[in-house]
Amino acid sequence: MTDIPRRAVSRTAKLAALPLGFAGRTVLGMGKRVTGLASDVISAEIQHRTAEQLFSVLGQLKGGAMKFGQALSVFEAALPEEIAAPYRQALTKLQEAAPPLPAATVHKVLAEQLGPDWRDRFVEFDDTPAAAASIGQVHRAVWREPGYGASGAPNTREVAVKIQYPGAGDALLADLKQLSRLGGMFRAIQPGLDVKPLLAELRERITEELDYELEAESQRAFAAAYADDPEIHIPAVVSASPRVLVTEWVEGTPLAEIIREGTEEQRDEAGRLMAILHLSAPQRAGLLHADPHPGNFRLLADGRLGVIDFGAVARMPEGTPEPIGRIAGLALRGDADGVVAGLRAEGFISSTEEIDAQAVLDFLRPMLEPIAADEFRFTRAWLRAEATRLASPRSPAYQLSRQLNLPPSYLLIHRVTLGSIGVLCQLEAKAPYRGILERWLPGFAPSAGQPSAGG
């Protein structure tokens, strides 16, 4: 495949074939029973085959299908191991690779965006993409800087050149429209996962992600906020146009590789740094990196976390909402009435809904286990247990969750937090998460005279 398939009939046929295949496999699998997240009538074999087909087609289509697959892939850690293991490799491919554009198409986009003399801006340009993702691919190059060095050679720097796929906008919209009809398939892979809010949010952010000049603006803000930071590295923006973005090259070990074969020390450190980025960015940059899949992070040789791809960000000029930290702290201190009052004020509980405050506290406390102690190790087993607790219709947690709302203003924060936790569980990373929250999450640190959140 040399380009995003843009013919509606072709794209629709590929996506429409997914639920048909799933239906056939479900009929064949009726009567088989498994435990964990799977429902009583869907076997592990059905889940495996469905996931295999789903992620294969999403990866081939790029566009919105690819982006949606990437968003889902961070939840891989929540799946039962016997189901997750066979297609974990397919998820990694979604995070790191896609079929490349031919060189002629790449050159055409560069000429349109940088001008017919685009080659003069580079000393070297590698036509083979170094990475490919949902709406664009990245090429490694050497950028020609103004002036010359002492030897007479031009000043240069290594850069990453992100080029948007032709037709990406139309493909994104078409894919998301089709994917909205596939809710049953996603529930087969992870029962309890409601994909509609995720699709609605992705649809809202498409316009922003297609605008590389807007992405450059966000990346510059991040770079300024973390300039000379000893733990987080944001590459500088070199040049930007609507469909081509040139930034400094980041050399490091991709997080997907660390998840796959990194040492315990590397995984723990990567998790600690990701938590710092996630929690500190709204306070430091007024922005939240809203695409926390492993392909967007590198562990650098000097120990810093390199962060790339700022197409999806949440603008939070006031920082993280203070009630998040305050309510979490109240829950850890066992203040059930205070927790319910806080949730009501923010719209998580209806003002007219009668609810058992102690039941709400019992519902929340297991989720807060990672910040109840000085250190915590996220694991796939922990996430699977939580997902099972929340998704089983017979559990008290499931019944209580039906009385809770997710206010629209918290949807993106919620999704990014879940995505980040998914990556931490893939890393199986141990770190002092409570201390990171106490430093960066408004309202969480106890005031004078109060017991600590873990006390």
Region label for 99, one of left (φ > 0), alpha (ψ between -120 and 50) or beta (otherwise) = beta
Q: How confident is the model at residue 97 (pLDDT cuts 50, 70, 90)?
A: very low
Question: What is residue 153's predicted lDDT score, i.e. its pLDDT?
Answer: 78
Please indicate whether residue 217 or residue 38 has the higher confidence score (pLDDT). 217
Q: What is the rounded distance in angstroms from the CA atom of residue 342 to the CA atom of residue 444?
A: 13
Q: Is 267 exposed, middle or buried (0-12, 13-18, 19+ CB in 10 A)?
A: buried
Question: Which one-letter amino acid corresponds to residue 118?
Answer: W
Distances in Å between the alpha carbon of 228 and those of 152, 266, 304, 333? Answer: 30, 22, 11, 37
Q: What percent of the chain has pLDDT over 70?
A: 67
Question: What is residue 387's predicted lDDT score, i.e. its pLDDT?
Answer: 79
Question: What is residue 435's predicted lDDT score, i.e. its pLDDT?
Answer: 96
What is the token pair recorded at 160?
């990453």
Q: How many CB atoms lie within 10 A of CB 236?
A: 14
Q: How confident is the model at residue 176 (pLDDT cuts 50, 70, 90)?
A: low
For residue 128, pLDDT beyond 90: yes
Q: How many CB atoms lie within 10 A of CB 424?
A: 30
Q: How many CB atoms lie within 10 A of CB 232?
A: 19
Q: How confident is the model at residue 433 (pLDDT cuts 50, 70, 90)?
A: very high
Residue of 368, 330, 365, 366 lying closest to 346 (CA atoms):
330
Over the stretch 132-171, which tens digit does the pLDDT of each residue have?
A: 766 788 999 999 988 777 777 778 999 999 998 887 767 6
Lowest-confidence range among 27-31, 49-53, 77-81, 317-321? 27-31
Q: What is the rounded distance in angstroms from the CA atom of residue 281 to the CA atom of residue 454?
A: 24
Q: What is the rounded distance in angstroms from the CA atom of residue 42 to the CA atom of residue 47?
A: 7
Are 34 and 69 within 8 A, CB to CB? no
Over the stretch 351-366, which tens digit does the pLDDT of each residue have?
A: 887 899 999 999 999 9
Question: What is residue 432's predicted lDDT score, i.e. its pLDDT?
Answer: 98
Lowest-confidence range among 57-61, 107-111, 271-275, 276-280? 57-61
Question: What is residue 20's predicted lDDT score, i.e. its pLDDT?
Answer: 40
pLDDT, mean of residues 389-406: 80
Give the CA count within 13 Å in the CB-facing half-sphere of 264: 5
Give the SS3 label for residue 139.
strand
pLDDT, mean of residues 31-51: 42
Question: What is residue 24's predicted lDDT score, i.e. its pLDDT?
Answer: 39
Residue of 156, 149, 155, 137 lying closest to 63 (CA atoms):
137
Dmax (CA) for the chain in angstroms is 77
Q: What percent of the chain has pLDDT over 90?
A: 47
Lowest-confidence range among 308-312, 324-328, 390-394? 390-394
Domain ranges of the chain: 8-96+171-192, 214-315, 322-440
Please indicate whether residue 171 or residue 93 has the higher confidence score (pLDDT). 171
Class in CATH terms, 214-315:
mainly alpha
pLDDT, mean of residues 72-96: 51
Q: How confident is the model at residue 221 (pLDDT cuts 50, 70, 90)?
A: very high
